[in-house]
């Protein structure tokens, strides 16, 4: 996805609202996920990438959710990505 956006000279943040349609609402934010909502690992990864610079704590939350619930097979990869954020790993 990143290469396609780079080719057409659009920032990855331009698809943030679209990607957030496929990610459950954050706990404690007062939002409830839509009934039958689909959770996309790829959309969550995109949101983590977008927030890595502007809101590292939110990016870490997405990566922890991926490691702990949605993409446990790649738990080590998500721990690596969290480490790249400069955040302590609590996976």
Q: How many domains does the chain have?
A: 1
Domain that holds residue 42: 2-84
Give me the mean pLDDT over the 40-49 stretch: 91
* Structural domain contains residue 91: no
Specify the pLDDT at position 28: 39
What is the rounded CA–CA span in Å between residue 90 and residue 2? 28
* Structural domain contains residue 90: no
**Would you say the C-alpha torsion 85, 55, 9, 1 has a positive or negative sign?**
positive
Give me the mean pLDDT over the 35-51 stretch: 84
* Structural domain contains residue 40: yes
Q: Among 3, 1, 13, 14, which Cα is nearest to 59's?
A: 13
Give me the mean pLDDT over the 1-11 stretch: 69
CA angle 1, 40, 56 (to 5 degrees): 75
Examine the pLDDT at 30 and tell me if it is beyond 60: no
* Structural domain contains residue 23: yes
């Amino acid at each position: 996805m990143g290469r396609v956006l780079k080719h057409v000279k659009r920032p990855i943040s331009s698809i943030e609202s679209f990607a957030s349609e496929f990610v459950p609402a954050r706990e404690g934010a007062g939002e409830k996920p839509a009934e039958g909502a689909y959770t996309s690992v790829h959309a969550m990864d995109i949101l983590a990438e977008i927030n890595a610079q502007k809101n590292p704590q939110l990016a870490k939350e997405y990566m922890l959710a991926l490691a702990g619930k949605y993409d446990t097979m790649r738990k080590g990869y998500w721990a690596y990505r969290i480490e790249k954020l400069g955040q302590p790993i609590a996976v």
